[in-house]
Copies of this chain bind each other. A is one copy, B any other.
Amino acid sequence: MSEEKENIQFQLTNELIGQVEELIAIKSDKELKSLLDEFHYADIAEILDELNLEEAVYVIKLLDSETTSDILMELDEDNREKVLRNLSAKEIAEEIEELDTDDAADIIAELPEKRQQEVISQIEDEAHKAEITELLAYDEDTAGGLMAKELVKVYDTWTVAGCLRRIRGQAEEVTRVHSVYVVNKQGKLVGRLSLKDLIVAKSEKKIADIYISSVDFVNVHDDVEDVARVMAKYDLEAIPVVDENQILLGRITIDDIVDVIKEEAEKDYQLAAGISQDVEADDSVWKLTKARLPWLLIGMFGGLGAAGIIEQFNDHMGAFVVLLSFVPLIQATAGNVGVQSSAIVVQGLANNSIGGNIIKRLLKEALLGLVNGFAIACIGLLVTHFVFNTSYMVSVTISIALVAVILMAALVGTFIPIFLDKRGIDPAVATGPFITTSNDLFGILIYFLIAKIMLGF
């Protein structure tokens, strides 16, 4: 018990990952188990996120379900989906049995419809099964979709002594007891008590005489964002959830709200940067393209619209003036790509979810830039040539410039935040106008250099 304590900052190193991979390769189960036993499940999840699917499934099957159920909850969503596809309905049901009802329902909700029924039918604990089924019925964006059924509930007719006795039973089920909720005979929420209040009170007192009747609560259909706002505003650590008749249905704890707040903030940030869907820096190029290309297209048609406006005012269309008309297109594209790239890197750095290899990250951004750039350039070629009637050479020039500018903007937008972070400067300062402005300049320079080479004016 007197062992030296270490600071809890867990460091995910390449050595550690290599060591785990090595132990999996030689199937050294006992050593692997004792190595992983040292770590918190959230840390094991970080390790598993770095392994390939086969290795991750191997570890999940090796460890006991009490640990692996928690690990599953912490895994990256995409990885969890893949791992679950490699487990049988029976195996998933075993994981589910170990989880609190809210987490269990979340995991099941992620499964394909048919799989959901198979897994639910394999859950042995009937009470747990019924509660999970109840939770699955609520919309995931409502209080019902976030709440857990686990809570400590006492009737107002009980005595303090009787209460403490029964709480001992209920509390075994509940990881953390924030508040003891007091209900009347009909199950309606009438008040609350803290464990502290119970400990301090005389044991022969009735609950009805000591409970606190002012109790905050939310309705099961309230929006999670409203719940988050209320809990943050009133500094609540848990809030009971009731139905229209004030019947106590469950409770929401602050750790789930922290996740809601973080996800909301990330969503807003990504939307502001022109990234739809919930994507992370580690997602596939295809998924990232789907999230980013639509916004680039909006920006592109804005740029083309601007060129159209400029044309309306022009009465002498030389090649140079035609090129100038498309400056807004180049600029908007460079700006949008730069902000997208930097926003996703900044967020990845803030979440600690970006691995150390800067070259690998830049190569990925380059690939992403080429994919997006090629799509944008093709549309650009067609629209400029057929709608704006620019010469073939000018259209090709604009298209090549678009690819080059997107590539450049993506690399600058990725490199600068990582560079700043390594120097200990908050990478968020490099997003927004800073990135946009430098990309404007580089973009226009690249555009006219390519035009000079292609058109030789």
Contact = CB atoms under 8 A, between A and B. Distances in A.
A266 B265 CA distance: 8
Nearest to A301: B437
Contact of A269 (B232, B233, B272, B437): B272
Interface stretch (A104-112, A321-329, A356-364, A365-373): A321-329
Contact of A1 (B190, B295, B310, B347): B190
A378 to B, nearest CB: 20
Interface residues of A, number: 114
Total copies of the chain: 2
Nearest to A320: B314
Contact of A235 (B255, B305, B309): B255
B432 A295 contact: yes
Nearest to A242: B5
Most buried by B among A7, A226, A267: A7
Contacts of A226: 9
A302 B171 contact: no
A440 B7 contact: no
B452 A230 contact: no
A332 interface: yes
A3 B213 contact: yes
A320 B321 contact: yes
A211 B273 CA distance: 48
A229 interface: yes
A184 to B, nearest CB: 8
13 contacts: A1-B208, A7-B222, A8-B234, A177-B196, A237-B254, A254-B258, A268-B428, A274-B433, A298-B437, A306-B327, A306-B444, A328-B328, A331-B331
Interface of A: 1-3, 5, 7-9, 40, 42, 164, 167-168, 171-172, 176-177, 184, 189-191, 194-196, 199-200, 208, 211, 213, 215-219, 222, 226, 229-235, 237, 246, 254-255, 257-259, 261-262, 264-269, 271-274, 295-296, 298-299, 301-303, 305-306, 309-310, 312-316, 318, 320-321, 324-325, 327-328, 331-332, 335-336, 339, 342-343, 346-347, 350-352, 426, 428-429, 431-434, 436-438, 440-441, 444-445, 448, 451-452, 457
